[in-house]
Amino acid sequence: MSSPKLFYEDFEPDRVFDFAPKTVSAEEIVDFASEFDPQPMHLSEDAGKASILGGLAASGWHSSCIMMRMMINAYLLDSASEGAPGIDIMEWKKPVLAGDTLTGRSIVTAARPMRSRPHIGIVTFRHELDNQRDERVLVSENSIMFRRRNVEGDTL
């Protein structure tokens, strides 16, 4: 691995990290649902149409995981991330339907050094996903730990 480009100090409040667009196929919706969330509306177009979702729709968990991969590509894999303790908010606001193209972003809402580990800082984000109809489909908030630039210390 090359050394990371983004450290704690780079995640300043209000900084925005835009995600590359991602189109979600029927095949990947069904593949994911078959493994983790085999409810009918995530497995076939007919059952999706008969449901409130209005068509073959990704599991909310799938949408969340797709967003994680968009975050990875946008900034996390280039960063000194030390992982996250969980998720504070996850709202599945609209269905993600087969063929939808998602865009989105992570916005830094707060950043503070970790008292117990001076070489780590905690960054809080708001994450958003939109579809090609300009509808917001997902909103989430969580905190991620990053190593500080030029501060000595073991990894977390």
The smaller minimum CB distance to its own copies, of residues 16 and 50, is found at 50
CB of 35 to its own copies, least distance (A): 7
The residue (of 14 and 52) whose beta carbon lies closer to its own copies is 52
Q: Report the nearest approach of its own copies to the CB of residue 20 (Å).
A: 15
Which residue ranges make up the site for its own copies (CB under 8 A)? 1, 35-41, 50-53, 59-61, 64-66, 68-69, 72, 76-77, 81-93, 155-156
Greatest Cα pair distance in the chain: 57
Least distance (Å) between residue 99 CB and its own copies: 19
Beta bridge partners of 6: 79
Q: Counting beta carbons within 10 angstroms of the beta carbon of residue 125, is it exposed (0 to 12), middle (13 to 18) or buried (19 or more)? A: buried
